[in-house]
Chains A and B, each alone.
Chain A
Amino acid sequence: MGKKNAHKGANPPSGFRKYAGLLFRSQTGTIGFFILLMILIIAIFAPHIAPYDPTSVDLRGMRMPPFWMEGGSMEHILGCDNLGRDLWSRIIYGTRVSLLVGILSVLLAGAFGIVLGMVSGFYGSWIDSVIMRVTDAFFAIPRILMAMVVLMVAGSSVGVLILIIGGTSWVPFARMIRSEVLALKEKEFVKCSRSIGTKGTVILLRHILPNVMSSFIVLCTMNIAGNIISEAALSFLGVGIQPPTVSWGVMLAEGRKFLGTHWWIGTFPGIAITISVLGIMFLGNWLRDVLDPRNQGIK
């Protein structure tokens, strides 16, 4: 991809090293990268990192506060919830659902959106009108409402959750890719290719797709953050992930009931969501600065 973008800048990027160098020059980019790396490691090695089974009930530790408070102990550093389950272990396992749903739903939405956006922008005419009106309609229905209706009828599981979050979040992809394609279509290299009789689909795949990839990657990253929040929101409302599966949204919903007396149960899962989303946003912002030529020079 680096080589294909070469005509745009004076210094063609030279692969991994160049990007690694750029990453460590950006403070927020570095922070974002390490946060995401940390979350990935935690999610993959959750059983080895978590000190306890996230679902094992221990009545002796019921509502134990975090270690720095009176009554807390180092055995449960973030304390326990109303059933005596270790909060730290639950947060560790919660990363799994969040990342799984976040990443897979974005891939689904991205695939759907990129196809619709490219077809709409490239072929124009009535196809474009139809796709854009459908996009408008999907944009007008608040995503979370749509997701709730489907989850209510279909019942909820991780699979349905991924499908529905992905299936309702493709609109920004379609809109952005379409506008990029509209601009690219007028570029010399596309016109040249057309004039020598290249077929439309070949132009789309060979000339246009590589050029929208950088915006696509940026949008994907940004949307992972949004979709993690969507999953947490749906689980919080009781229609997403169902206990005993551990999810940050479920933990928040449980914590909400004990706000008056045991603040930590509802506080730590929210901090976990905020840190993960922050990390992903930082990385996304950095990617945008690096990959998107339009943003070059703007800090």
Chain B
Amino acid sequence: MGKYMRRRLLQVIPVLLIVTVVVFFMVHLSGDPTSMMLPQDATQEARENLREALGLNRPLHVQYWIFIKGLFQGDFGISHKYNAPALPIVLERIPASLELCAVSIVLSVVIAIPLGVWAARAHGTPFDSLVNALAVLGQAMPSFWIGIMLILLLGVKWTLLPVSGRGSMAQLIMPSVTLAIGTSAQIIPLVRSSMLEIVHEDYIRTARSKGLSERTVIYRHAFKNALVPVITMVALQIPALFGGALITETIFAWPGLGQLMVTGVTNHDMAIVQACILMITFITIVVNLCADMLYCLIDPRIRM
């Protein structure tokens, strides 16, 4: 197990480095950053001064080296909108984002696992078809539209829940449900199919023939094993979840990283945008690593 973990941890380093390269080059190769930081009628001289100040006139690899060195020293650049270093501004937003994502993941697992297991147990019945249909629909509806419709119904029409902000439990409900619908729709079919596959295994037949109750067979024997692919699936959903959170946070004015990033893009605040994307990616990688470790604990075959 130790060996697997070490190898897995070592793999993270090149991935992180490549991420910085990708982000850096995307920003520097897709256009001239000064064109969006200055007003359209800025003089050539002002442009040149800004380029000089930002170090854009140096060769790319030198710029990248300065960028990387900065990252290691916690220097993510200066936000020209806030007139302050970008890192503290970004760090401040992390708890809100983590809260939203964690609650949505828990919520989607809580929705998806019982539905998937019940659908598998009721294989071929109308209930099974209904769950399948709901899962497909959940995947087809874009999360931002779900959010808008929730606001329309729960916020505007029936005024049951507040439509924006963060602070109370009530404010957490709509954004997390918005995110959880899409995520659970992805997990349900997997829970269902992995349960269906497992109930045909020999050890389940053995458990049944021993005269164990159906409950014990399903929850003690089948469910635990069906969980393995589900954990992978949940982990795979995480980048998409953070991507979805970006829009969800904007819709519900949730003060997280996603919202900061979107306003950063609107304000052309390069430092904030870069810091956000790096931070979100870093969190994604760490969460995926944790999922892998969990996976390893649950399924001893992986450790080989």
Contacts and interface: CB of A to CB of B under 8 A. Distances in A.
A152 B265 contact: yes
Contacts of B251: 256
A209 interface: no
Contacts of B27: 149, 153
Nearest to A266: B148
A146 B144 contact: no
A143 B142 contact: no
A220 to B, nearest CB: 17
Given A149-B273, A149-B277, A278-B137, A232 B151 contact: no
A146 to B, nearest CB: 7
B288 A274 contact: no
A232 B141 CA distance: 11
B55 to A, nearest CB: 16
A259 B145 contact: no
A152 B142 contact: no
Contacts, number: 143
Contacts of A238: 266
A294 to B, nearest CB: 12
Nearest to A142: B243
B23 A149 contact: yes
A142 B142 contact: no
Interface in B221-272: 239-240, 242-243, 246-247, 250-251, 261-262, 265-266, 268
A239 interface: yes
Nearest to A260: B156
Given A141-B281, A229-B142, A259 B151 contact: yes
A141 B239 contact: yes
Interface residues of A, number: 46
A259 B156 contact: yes
B145 A141 contact: no
B304 to A, nearest CB: 18
A171 to B, nearest CB: 10
Contact of A150 (B26, B136, B285): B26
Interface stretch (B10-18, B73-81, B113-121, B205-213): B10-18
B107 interface: no
Contacts of A153: 26-27, 30-33, 36
Given A154-B31, A238-B266, A266-B152, A139 B239 contact: yes
Contacts of A142: 239-240, 242-243, 246, 280-281, 284
A79 interface: no
A252 B145 contact: yes
B145 A140 contact: no
A19 to B, nearest CB: 22
Nearest to B141: A274
Contacts of A144: 243, 246-247
A189 interface: no
Given A134-B18, A278-B140, 13 more contacts: A136-B11, A137-B16, A137-B22, A138-B22, A140-B285, A141-B19, A141-B23, A142-B240, A153-B27, A259-B151, A260-B156, A278-B136, A278-B137
Interface of A: 133-134, 136-146, 148-155, 225, 229, 232-233, 236-239, 252, 255-256, 259-260, 263, 266-267, 269-270, 273-274, 277-278, 281-282, 298
